[in-house]
Amino acid sequence: MQRIGVFVCHCGSNIAGTVDVKRVVEAIRTEPGVIHAEDYPYMCSEAGQQLIAKAIEEHKLTGIVVCSCSPRMHEATFRKAAANAGINSFMVEIANIREHCSWIHKDVEEGTEKAVILARAAIAKLNLDTPLQPGESRVVKRALVIGGGIAGIQSALDIADAGYEVDIVEKTPSIGGRMSQLDKTFPTLDCSACILTPKMVEAAAHEKINIYTYSEVEKVSGFVGDFKVDIRKKARYVDSTKCTGCGLCQEKCPSKKAPSEFNRGLNTRSAIYTPFAQAIPNVPVIDTENCLKFKTGKCGICQKICAAGAVDYEQQDEIITREYGAIVVATGFDTIKLDKYDEYAYSQSKDVVTSLELERIMNAAGPTKGHLERLSDGKAPKNIVFIQCVGSRCSDGRGKSYCSKICCMYTAKHAMLIRDKYPDTNVTVFYIDVRTPGKNFDEFYRRAVEDYHVNYVKGQVGKVMPQPDGSLLVQGVDLIDNKQIKMNADMVVLATAIEPDPSVRNIATMLTASIDTNNFLTESHAKLRPVESPTAGVFLSGVCQGPKDIPETVAQAGAAAVKAIGLLAKDKLTTNPCTAQADILLCNGCSTCANVCPYGAISYENIQINDHGIREERRVAVVNNALCQGCGACTVACPSGAMDLQGFSNRQILAEVDAICR
Amino acid sequence: MSLNNEFKPKIVAFCCNWCSYAGADLAGSSRLAYPADVKIIRVPCSCRVNPMFILRAFEKGADGVIMCGCHPGDCHYSTGNYYARRRMTLLFSMLDYLGIERARTRVEWVSAAEGVKFSQTMNEFVEDIRKLGKNVRLEDLRCRN
């Protein structure tokens, strides 16, 4: 029989506000096994933990139930407190009477009644708890960073600087990500490439960093400290060990009609290409869909002219399997598709562009060599209209419900740069709200309005209509003057919402990392663990977790790196002891459990068994505790009921059911 | 108030630790109310829910049982919720055969970020159960004296 102590927390007024804590204490005193029960304002405080320790000693308790907040919050705290007081840390059960009770019920009567039932369920479970000993697992001293944008580069640099090996996997032919496509950055207006390329070079030159570009993560198995990852290194058809990066092949390639991904399809590139001049590695790839050699079998010019003999049409995809202790996800973002926003005439007119396209137009390496031109006729636009929140803060289901966060600032930047370089150009910005929280952000926006006389109009644009003369008629509303506006524009720029890069879905599934309804990766705790995924050993860096600007991305990338370093610095990890166990007297070795186990943790052994005096050899299941993650799939699959999960045993869950239905 | 509204159903909710339990926590910290009739049991994964647990709940007088897990494809253990889904499909047809209304059991996928969905689901489910009224308790007639 257990000797149970029950500790009911007030959590200030968080619990005590809608749960009569004293009544809970009195109600559970008579529960089986309960020796001691008391309440305290803050159980998680030092004093609260001491009170638990004292009660454990005084009443010789064998287990404790803490009625408090969610176990996801303080289970670890109370387990540690119990262990310090000399009882097994798994002889602790939490009744969640805050998140699941006091916070959602207003009526004290109702709240108290439910709290008592939840406490009873926890006591019933604890009565069947057994002491468990966590095992140990190794930590592979190497990290994987998925995504080679500024977030991935920063995380990789920070981890590598701490002395650990890092591999960056980037799906495009070069690292650099979205930041490499930007022209200038707010609020300082420094050139994006000028601050990014030194980081790219540093990452490439770092002895601890290994970069796999044009590669994708294909398979992930294992767990925190010991992940096994298959990386598909796609065939570049250029041998990177031989290529000197002279660029002659790109010059001579006769197939030059492929849309340039880097320039957002605004101009074309050759079939053998590096995405941009500062690409790292400076080794081209052949795009087989546009290459004449691959399409027709004729051509082969690049191979003929390559002095280094680097072009190899026979190259195959390569699968690299490596082990990692920690994984940082930095998959970044893309702009949303605009096919649901016909009213802005994006598909009808070349002069309606997204902000990211405008970045390319304004960039010296872009399709117009940095001259602000209309893409339809090459003329300089005299009137430019910016439309904010295209697909952001959208309640009609066409776009995203969230604020993309960066658009207000980059639009102020664009407007300011245009007014600075082309003072004759009129710039109008239609906005819902201008949001500029951030260091020097509001000052920046005010400069656009006050010094550069950008015309900000509060209101939305209803329609953009291409006119026969090539101009664009913009119909909108001015909410402050409460009037309809019709104006002619030569160019319309859409502040298109950003969304997580589509590749993140697949990666999240492989990593079993949770994802929210907008495909952003979920953090472990919105405030206190913002860079950790709930899946241990997986860390989040950059926009894959939520919209962010560059400074925030870099800060979060550093934070994710620190968390990864903290993990890699450990020599051993303690494993979860809540693993499956087979009862060898019941098991008949049917293999059903091994078939459902996602970790391959179950194997079979022939053992000598003495069953009621009959000695025989039997095939039975054996669970590898280091591999078992404790999901419990096998426990339900087992036809003879031989499999059970420690910490969540059949009897324990049934006891909880009974206590609730009593 | 009508008599029906005073009926307090007993509802057991099995929530997986990684998605739905966290979703319930989020509903709590966002103060998204749902009736106190719902009592949550934490399980590591929806695949840990043995159909036996649900039968036991009905045997002990539960009026409704709901199981929540991660969205298909998002299971923390990769494949657990697929097993759970198949098992529940079979169990539900059996419960139907036993004479327990289909609406008394339910499976929902709720992610850790879906506090609103968790609360809405629970509100709807409790409303459905209230409409159905008290459940006929599952019992073994041979045990009757």
Say yes or no to pLDDT of B133 above 70. Answer: yes
Distance CA A98, CA A508 (A): 30
From chain A, the residues in CB contact with B36 under 8 A are: 101, 105, 107, 110-111, 113-114
Ordered by where they begin, the domains of chain B are: 9-134 (3.40.50)
From chain A, the residues in CB contact with B27 under 8 A are: 99, 104
Say yes or no to pLDDT of A558 above 90. Answer: yes
Predicted pLDDT at B1: 40
Dihedral sign for Cα atoms in the order A517, A519, A524, A527:
negative
User: Cα dist. A195→A184, A476, A575 in Å?
Assistant: 10, 38, 42
Q: Are the Cβ atoms of A104 and B75 closer than 8 angstroms?
A: no
Choose, out of B10, B11, B29, B82, the residue to mutate when testing the contact with A (most A CBs < 10 Å). Answer: B29
Residues B125, B11: contact at Cβ < 8 Å? yes
Choose, out of A92, A595, A635, A657, the residue to mutate when testing the contact with B (most B CBs < 10 Å). Answer: A657
Q: Are the Cβ atoms of B29 and A633 closer than 8 angstroms?
A: no
Distance CA A423, CA A427 (A): 10
- CB burial of A289-305 (b: ≥16 within 10 Å; e: otherwise) equals ebbbbbeeeebebbbee
What mean pLDDT comes out for the span A294-321? Answer: 95
Hey, which residues 350-389 in chain A have their CB within 8 Å of chain B? none
Euclidean distance between the first and final Cα of chain B, in Å?
38
Query: How do residues A418-440 score in pLDDT, each as one tens digit?
Result: 999 999 999 999 999 999 999 99
Q: Are the Cβ atoms of A598 and B74 closer than 8 angstroms?
A: no
Hey, which residues 3-62 in chain B have their CB within 8 Å of chain A? 10, 12, 18-19, 21-22, 24-25, 27-29, 31-34, 36, 39-45, 47-53, 56-57, 60-62
Q: Determine contact: B89 vs chain A, CB below 8 A.
A: no
User: Considering only alpha carbons, which residue of chain B is nearest residue A509?
Assistant: B74
Q: Please state the φ and ψ torsions of residue A608, each to the nearest 5 degrees.
A: -80, 130
Which of A104, A636, A637 minimises the CB distance to B34? A104
Topology annotation, domain A580-646: Alpha-Beta Plaits (3.30.70)
Predicted pLDDT at A646: 95
What mean pLDDT comes out for the span A638-656? Answer: 95
Residues A541, A328: contact at Cβ < 8 Å? yes
Query: How do residues A566-607 score in pLDDT, each as one tens digit?
Result: 999 999 998 889 999 999 989 999 999 999 998 889 999 999
Enumerate the H helices of A526-573 as residue ranges: 550-568
Query: How close A578 gets to chain B, by Cα (Å)?
Result: 9
* Of A108-112, A299-303, A613-617, B122-126, minimum mean pLDDT range: A613-617
A272 residue type, one letter? I
Distance CA A283, CA A306 (A): 12
Query: How close A523 gets to chain B, by Cα (Å)?
Result: 9
Distance CA A126, CA A62 (A): 10
List all residues 6 or more positions away from B40 whose beta carbon is below 8 Å from its beta carbon. A96, A100, B13, B14, B15, B21, B24
Superfamily of domain A336-499: FAD/NAD(P)-binding domain (3.50.50.60)
Query: How do residues A34-63 score in pLDDT, each as one tens digit?
Result: 999 999 999 999 999 999 999 999 999 999
Say yes or no to pLDDT of A398 above 70. Answer: yes
Distance CA A452, CA A448 (A): 5
Q: Are the Cβ atoms of B78 and A512 closer than 8 angstroms?
A: yes
Q: Please state the φ and ψ torsions of residue B14, each to the nearest 5 degrees.
A: -90, 120
Q: What is the ipTM of this complex?
A: 0.94
Query: How do residues B35-87 score in pLDDT, each as one tens digit?
Result: 999 999 999 999 999 999 999 999 999 999 999 999 988 888 888 999 999 99
Distance CA A531, CA A50 (A): 32
| pLDDT band at residue A653 using 50, 70 and 90 as cut-offs | very high
What mean pLDDT comes out for the span A123-127? Answer: 96
Q: Determine contact: A590 vs chain B, CB below 8 A.
A: no
Q: Please state the φ and ψ torsions of residue A259, each to the nearest 5 degrees.
A: -65, 135
User: Considering only alpha carbons, which residue of chain A is nearest residue B85?
Assistant: A633
| pLDDT band at residue A528 using 50, 70 and 90 as cut-offs | confident
List all residues 6 or more positions away from A54 whose beta carbon is below 8 Å from its beta carbon. none
Q: Determine contact: B76 vs chain A, CB below 8 A.
A: yes
Say yes or no to pLDDT of B22 above 70. Answer: yes
User: Considering only alpha carbons, which residue of chain B is nearest residue A645?
Assistant: B48
Predicted pLDDT at A1: 83
Q: Determine contact: A83 vs chain B, CB below 8 A.
A: no
| pLDDT band at residue B144 using 50, 70 and 90 as cut-offs | low
From chain B, the residues in CB contact with A121 under 8 A are: 39, 41
User: Considering only alpha carbons, which residue of chain A is nearest residue B9?
Assistant: A661
Predicted pLDDT at B6: 77
Q: Using alpha carbons only, give the angle A48, A49, A54 rounded to the nearest 5 degrees.
A: 100
Residues A589, A621: contact at Cβ < 8 Å? yes
**How many residue contacts between A and B have a Cβ separation below 8 Å?**
157
Neighbours of A320 (CB within 10 A): 14
Which of residues B143 and A447 earns the better pLDDT score? Answer: A447
Q: Are the Cβ atoms of A631 and B76 closer than 8 angstroms?
A: yes
Distance CA A345, CA A313 (A): 42
User: Cα dist. B8→A449, B68, B116, B129 in Å?
Assistant: 61, 21, 23, 10
From chain A, the residues in CB contact with B87 under 8 A are: 636
Which of B12, B32, B111 minimises the CB distance to A104? B32
Predicted pLDDT at A315: 96
DSSP assignment of A322-336, as one string?
A: EEESEEEE---EEEP
Predicted pLDDT at A610: 83
Say yes or no to pLDDT of B142 above 90. Answer: no
Average pLDDT over chain B, rounded to whole? 90
Predicted pLDDT at A83: 95
Predicted pLDDT at B5: 56
Q: Determine contact: B63 vs chain A, CB below 8 A.
A: no
Topology annotation, domain A4-126: Rossmann fold (3.40.50)
Residue closest to B43 by CA, chosen among A11, A105, A635: A635
Let me know if the fold of A142-233+317-332+517-568 is the same as that of A336-499. yes
DSSP reduced 3-state for B112: coil
Q: Are the Cβ atoms of B111 and A650 closer than 8 angstroms?
A: no
Predicted pLDDT at A499: 97
Predicted pLDDT at B2: 43
Gyration radius of chain A over CA positions? 31
Predicted pLDDT at B136: 79
Say yes or no to pLDDT of B4 above 60. Answer: no
User: Considering only alpha carbons, which residue of chain A is nearest residue B72?
Assistant: A509
| pLDDT band at residue B145 using 50, 70 and 90 as cut-offs | low
Query: How do residues A136-171 score in pLDDT, each as one tens digit?
Result: 899 999 999 999 999 999 999 999 999 999 999 999
What mean pLDDT comes out for the span A443-464? Answer: 96
A77 residue type, one letter? T
From chain A, the residues in CB contact with B31 under 8 A are: 103-104
* Local structure of residue A544 (DSSP, 8 states): G
Hey, which residues 463-502 in chain A have their CB within 8 Å of chain B? none
Largest CA distance in chain B: 50
Q: Which CATH architecture has domain A142-233+317-332+517-568?
A: 3-Layer(bba) Sandwich (3.50)
What mean pLDDT comes out for the span A182-198? Answer: 94
What mean pLDDT comes out for the span A303-316? Answer: 95
Say yes or no to pLDDT of A478 above 70. Answer: yes
Q: What percent of chain A has pLDDT over 70?
A: 100
Question: What are the structural domain ranges in chain A?
Answer: 4-126, 142-233+317-332+517-568, 248-305, 336-499, 580-646
Tokens in use for B32?
A: 């998204």
Predicted pLDDT at A396: 87
Q: What percent of chain B has pLDDT over 70?
A: 94
Predicted pLDDT at A609: 83
Query: How close A264 gets to chain B, by Cα (Å)?
Result: 31
